[in-house]
Structure 1
Amino acid sequence: MFFKKKKPEAPDSVNEKNLEDKELIPANKEDFIQRMKDLFHHSADLNIKELPNGFTLLYLDTMTDNTLINVDILRQLEGIQASPDEAYKKITVGSVSKMKYIEDSIKKALKGSVLVHSQGFPVLIEASVGTQENRSLTRPENESQVLGPQIAFNESLATNISLIRRYIANPNVCNESFTLGTQTNAAVSLLYIKHIADDEMVDRMRERIQKIEIDSVIDSSILVQLVEDNSFAIFPQLLMTERPDRACSWLLNGKVAVLVDGSVQVIGAPLSFFEFFQSMEDESVRWQIGTFLRILRVFSMVVSVFFTAIYVAALTFHYEIIPQTLLIPLGESRSLVPFPPIIEALLLEGMIELLREAGARLPTKVGQTMGIVGGIVVGTAAVDAGFTSNILIIIIAVSALASFTTPNYMMGNVIRILRFPLIILAGFWGFYGLMIGFCFLLIHLIRQTSMGVPFMTPFYPPRFADWRDSIFRLPIAWTNKRPYQTRPVDSRKFQTKKTKE
């Protein structure tokens, strides 16, 4: 890993270190105000109000709700003695607590709290009045589907947790809170269901989160790279989703979910390779259709990765595998192409990737036009100019379409990249090079783990009981047990006999 981890310390030593290092709240009002101004570097949005009865309020204008401050704090503190106990009783905000250390109070102020200081007391009253400027709930953009719930997570951690609790109204849903990033102090939540999730797996995820020492965690995509098993692997070992129903499905199967404040993506662990080709819509259709769609996605992945490489290997070294009736039109199509098949394929694959990236970065309407018009114009011009053949245009188009069937964006990017080294291997050594690349990929996948669980489960190691909900999707009445990969405490979902009745 490219980040440092804290060494585990005994609980007693941690407490002693905190007591020695943390700075206490100054009892004197002037000292308190000056100290806070220095710590906030005299920021323009730092607001300090000194009340006649001895109270001092400190807060950030840009992070707090002025209406709550006026009604629930200022009005309640009028005419009472300047005492922390009195302020604690009178303030009507929902979240109120006492604080003794400067560091803790600074973190609360940055999250939208008002700090109430009483003259002569080394204690602060913290009242949470942060603004709730959240984006409204919308439809999923990256995991859209026809059937099932049409709602997605947003950037608010509290809203995302509430969505999960609405789906799973169960007191056993545990929520553990962490703070990551020495500069950002991002709130992170670890969710799991007690008596279903394996304690060892929960401890492993908790330990990895606690040991991270980094200056910022802006998004779940950053955190997922810090907690995964192998950061050098090209394949993602943890899955992210923007759908609450999928996150709840993970929890009900004995997995854990990690949420980051400010991120719309929720991390699930552990995951297997074949779960990247599953969609929540598979559960909403008949089991025959769900199985067909999953097999189609896996087949499309194979086609997208190997189709162009097979074309290059066949034209370069293995003409004997091409049917006789196809040799003549293939030869005529390539008669004007001045490049060998490997250069031709790499050139066209590169142009397709340029069009795809340009379409993704441009505004939506312009990007769609760029993708369609650009593909037609570039493809037609390349064939007319003799840079490529008609057959390769068809093969590249089929490979590109097949890559879009992958429901997960991260796995789709991996499939796009894998085509290039396989084309190079096929261009230099034909099917022998292609087989070397395939074996390398297979060995690489078999060696990977996700939170200590084999990445290719349930096919390696073979867990035949889990095949019923992997590439295949058998009837719901047959999927009465949770996946073995999570080692759930309660492995049974329901009684099969009663469900069939």
Structure 2
Amino acid sequence: MDHFKELSGRSYDFKTTTISLSNQDISISYFNTLIDEKILQQQVIHAIQNRALDSELKKLEDLLTWISVDDIEITDKFQDIQSKVLKGYAAIHFNNNHIDKYVLVNMSTKKGMRETNDTENEFSVVGPKVGFVEDISTNIRLLRAQINIPNLIVKDFTIGTVSKTKVAIIYIEGVTNKQYIETVEQRLCDMDFDVVFDSSQLEQIISDNSKSPFPIFLSTERRDRVVYSLISGQVAITCEGSPYFVTGPSSIFDSFISPEDYYLPWVLGSFFRIIRILGVLFSLFASSMYLVLTTYHYEVIPMDLLGPLIFSRQDVPFPPVIEVLFLEVTIEFLREAGARLPTKISQTLGIVGGVILGQAAVEAGLTSNILIIITALSALASFTTPLFKMSNTIRFLRFPIIILSSLWGGIGMFIGITFILVHLTQLKSLGAPYTVPLFPLRMNDWGDSFIRSSYKNLNKRPGYLRSSSILRYVINTDKLKKDFTNE
């Protein structure tokens, strides 16, 4: 029990309150993010103090009648004590008594479990939809409800010379590599900032390369995604006033992983993940490929397609590069307008605006039908990635590739691809390679990158995280017995 208190005491939300009575000192240990502090004050602390004025507390069993809470018990089993405290119970003990008995009082709270914390930007059809809110204590309570072990350590810092914002570092002791924990702590302590509004600011400040358009860390509002990152050996960072968690070190493949992949059969999860990766590649290069073919390398266009392409562009007075940029900028205008307007108006604007503008542009001879189809598909494909920040990165990278393709054709397009690949291979997240397991090549980690393998092959944590504990769970290799046997 002393080891449990010492381990839990590393988290700022573990508290021990001492009540001094006339003949006895009582200690109450609990996680303040898991309990209802009003119940603790009114029905436990005040009840004990008021009752002690009339009668003497001789033995721990007397508390069963002193405290008016329905779910209360006394036990000396350590496993029960640890499990109950991690579920929102308070453990009451005599300080000067060598008997290892504890009174467990249920004071758990359900705050933040479904009413106002739905995920808004990372929606999924299958699986839980519990998201985080702007209260850091509620967010930690949600994590502790899912990761029910004392090894979940929560360290708090105060950052911001003006805002004095509480920032929490969360990790699992004995799983997460200590080097990553120390790196995050050092970068946060070295910060000199005035006001911290959101965890996204922390992500940029502690990033290994803040000039990169790619998200170096994984930013999410979903509880299940943060839980999966923690059990894999990553570090999570959040701050007061932000509903988002930042986890790292992450790789580029984390941006294409959806929680639904793990709630569906592994074949379907792998298929949808491949669709996302192909969709992002199509969104990134579709418009520039059209520009290259129609400007420099039209000889490679099949004859059956060349006729319709010439017919669709015969009334367009602009070169293909102006045509492409016009439609791409129009799509960005519609996106930004839809994001800033109320939900009902934005849906109408997206549908009506897209149809009307597209039809009017073709009739006015400003663009071709084929390019409208390509641009529309490219815009849809950019949203296949589950993370909004990676979607923004794809939207941005399309424009320099289009410009390079307009200048040098296919060579310019491949120059842009080369720059992206070289930049990606140089990126690091908390010192870990960003493109792992593709580069450096880690064949053992391919089971959860391009595809999602079955759970029989996912019992080990990713090798690039260098976790202190490699195994997540032990696979039962015993063969299933047949229901019918031939006798």
Give me the TM-score of the superposition, normalised by structure 2: 0.75
Aligned length: 375
Residue 137 of structure 1 contacts residue 153 of structure 1 at CA under 8 Å; is this kept in 2?
A: no
Percent identity of paired positions between Structure 1 and Structure 2 = 45
The reply to whether residue 168 of structure 1 matches residue 157 of structure 2 is no
Residue 238 of structure 1 contacts residue 267 of structure 1 at CA under 8 Å; is this kept in 2?
A: yes
Per-residue deviation at 1:493?
Answer: 1.3
In the alignment, the residues of structure 2 paired with residue 175 and residue 146 of structure 1 have an alpha-carbon distance, to the nearest angstrom, of: 31
Per-residue deviation at 1:167?
Answer: 0.2
The reply to whether residue 220 of structure 1 matches residue 220 of structure 2 is no
SS in 2 for 1:177: strand
Corresponding position of 1:398: 377
User: Could you tell me which amino acid in structure 1 is paired with residue 368 of structure 2?
Assistant: S
In the alignment, the residues of structure 2 paired with residue 319 and residue 256 of structure 1 have an alpha-carbon distance, to the nearest angstrom, of: 50
TM-aligned CA distance change 1:500 to 1:198, over 3 Å: farther
Corresponding position of 1:177: 156
In the alignment, the residues of structure 2 paired with residue 500 and residue 180 of structure 1 have an alpha-carbon distance, to the nearest angstrom, of: 54
Per-residue deviation at 1:486?
Answer: 1.0
Corresponding position of 2:362: 383
Per-residue deviation at 1:138?
Answer: 2.6
Corresponding position of 2:103: none
SS in 1 for 2:264: coil
Q: Identify which of 121, 125, 128 aligns with 1:142.
A: 121
Per-residue deviation at 1:282?
Answer: 0.3
Report Cα offsets for 1:471-498 as digits up to 9, x if no partner. Answer: 1111001111000121000001122344
TM-aligned CA distance change 1:213 to 1:136, over 3 Å: farther
Corresponding position of 2:251: 272
Q: Identify which of 304, 308, 313 aligns with 2:287.
A: 308
TM-aligned CA distance change 1:188 to 1:155, over 3 Å: same
Instruction: Output aligned runs, 1:267-416, within 5 Å.
Output: 267-416=246-395
Q: Identify which of 150, 154, 159 aligns with 2:133.
A: 154
What is the alpha-carbon root mean square deviation over aligned residues? 1.9
Per-residue deviation at 1:499?
Answer: 7.7
User: Could you tell me which amino acid in structure 1 is paired with residue 358 of structure 2?
Assistant: G
Report Cα offsets for 1:299-341 as digits up to 9, x if no partner. Answer: 0010000000000000000011111011111111100000000
Per-residue deviation at 1:151?
Answer: 1.0
SS in 2 for 1:262: coil
User: Could you tell me which amino acid in structure 1 is paired with residue 468 of structure 2?
Assistant: V
User: Could you tell me which amino acid in structure 1 is paired with residue 349 of structure 2?
Assistant: M
In the alignment, the residues of structure 1 paired with residue 126 and residue 185 of structure 2 have an alpha-carbon distance, to the nearest angstrom, of: 35
In the alignment, the residues of structure 1 paired with residue 129 and residue 407 of structure 2 have an alpha-carbon distance, to the nearest angstrom, of: 48
Q: Identify which of 424, 429, 452 aligns with 1:473.
A: 452
Residue 317 of structure 1 contacts residue 430 of structure 1 at CA under 8 Å; is this kept in 2?
A: yes
SS in 1 for 2:446: helix
Corresponding position of 1:261: 240
Report Cα offsets for 1:275-296 as digits up to 9, x if no partner. Answer: 1010111000000000011111
The reply to whether residue 194 of structure 1 matches residue 173 of structure 2 is yes
Corresponding position of 1:204: 183
User: Could you tell me which amino acid in structure 2 is paired with residue 370 of structure 1?
Assistant: L
Corresponding position of 1:438: 417
In the alignment, the residues of structure 2 paired with residue 370 and residue 451 of structure 1 have an alpha-carbon distance, to the nearest angstrom, of: 41
TM-aligned CA distance change 1:348 to 1:500, over 3 Å: farther
The reply to whether residue 237 of structure 1 matches residue 240 of structure 2 is no
In the alignment, the residues of structure 1 paired with residue 258 and residue 164 of structure 2 have an alpha-carbon distance, to the nearest angstrom, of: 33
Is there any run of 5+ residues in structure 2 with no aligned partner, and where? 1-37, 50-110, 481-487
Report Cα offsets for 1:125-172 as digits up to 9, x if no partner. Answer: xxxxxxxx9895332111111111121100110000000000011000
Instruction: Output aligned runs, 1:17-32, within 5 Å.
Output: none
TM-aligned CA distance change 1:222 to 1:331, over 3 Å: same
In the alignment, the residues of structure 1 paired with residue 244 and residue 135 of structure 2 have an alpha-carbon distance, to the nearest angstrom, of: 11
In the alignment, the residues of structure 2 paired with residue 195 and residue 359 of structure 1 have an alpha-carbon distance, to the nearest angstrom, of: 46
In the alignment, the residues of structure 1 paired with residue 312 and residue 147 of structure 2 have an alpha-carbon distance, to the nearest angstrom, of: 59
